[in-house]
Amino acid sequence: MIPEAPFLFSVAALNASFAGLGGLLLGLRHGPDLRPLDTLRLRQVVEFAFANLLVAISVQPIVALVGAAAGFRIAGGLSLGCIVLALPILHRRVARVGISWGRSWAASAIGLSAAGAALSLATVIAPSAGLYELLLVAMLARPMVVFVLVLGAIDEPEPVPNRDPRT
């Protein structure tokens, strides 16, 4: 077992917790009181968390098979693929549901994706356990931030459409 395994498994457990919380909140808030934006965000929490969990635990067998440098390089490349693939999927879902991006949501999505991509590339170029661990922290921030956005919107009133006062 690689020396970093306890950290990797801790990150995996944190992601599993986020997936469970996101699924629980989605189940508890189903029905007419759940806005499409909240549904989309809770789905993101679960998907990001599951992807992160797989990324965190996959490095152990990869390093065991091919060695530390190649293993962290491969795991960094897989992480980059997950981060890059998530962006067009999210864009398509947002467009399909007809949701507009809020500033905080767009800024967090772009910032966290850029940080994750940069750390993934750094891990591919100069593989090390430390870079990979930083990458996992950045990837853990994605479901965390989305979950905070959902929690922040729980007590937000539903926007009222503009009405013509003459009607």
Q: What is the DSSP string of 27-52?
A: HHT-STTS-HHHHHHHHHHHHHHHHH
Q: State the maximum Cα–Cα separation within the chain, in Å, rounded to a whole number.
A: 73
What mean pLDDT comes out for the span 59-86? 94
In a domain, 160, yes or no: no
Burial of 162 (0-12, 13-18, 19+ CB in 10 A): exposed
Measured CA to CA, the distance from residue 51 to residue 130 in angstroms comes to: 20
Give me the pLDDT at residue 32, please.
Answer: 67
Total residues found in the chain within this entry: 167
- Domain housing 141: 5-153
The answer to whether position 17 is within a domain reads yes
Q: What is the pTM for the complete model shown? A: 0.80
Q: Indicate whether 62 belongs to any domain.
A: yes
Whether residue 164 is contained in a domain is answered as: no
In a domain, 47, yes or no: yes
Q: How far apart are CA 95 and CA 15, in angstroms?
A: 27
What mean pLDDT comes out for the span 135-161? 77
pLDDT value for 75: 95
The count of structural domains within the chain is 1
Asked if residue 163 is part of any domain, the answer here is: no
Residue 89 and residue 112: Cα distance in Å, rounded? 16
- The answer, yes or no, to whether residue 65 has pLDDT greater than 60, is yes
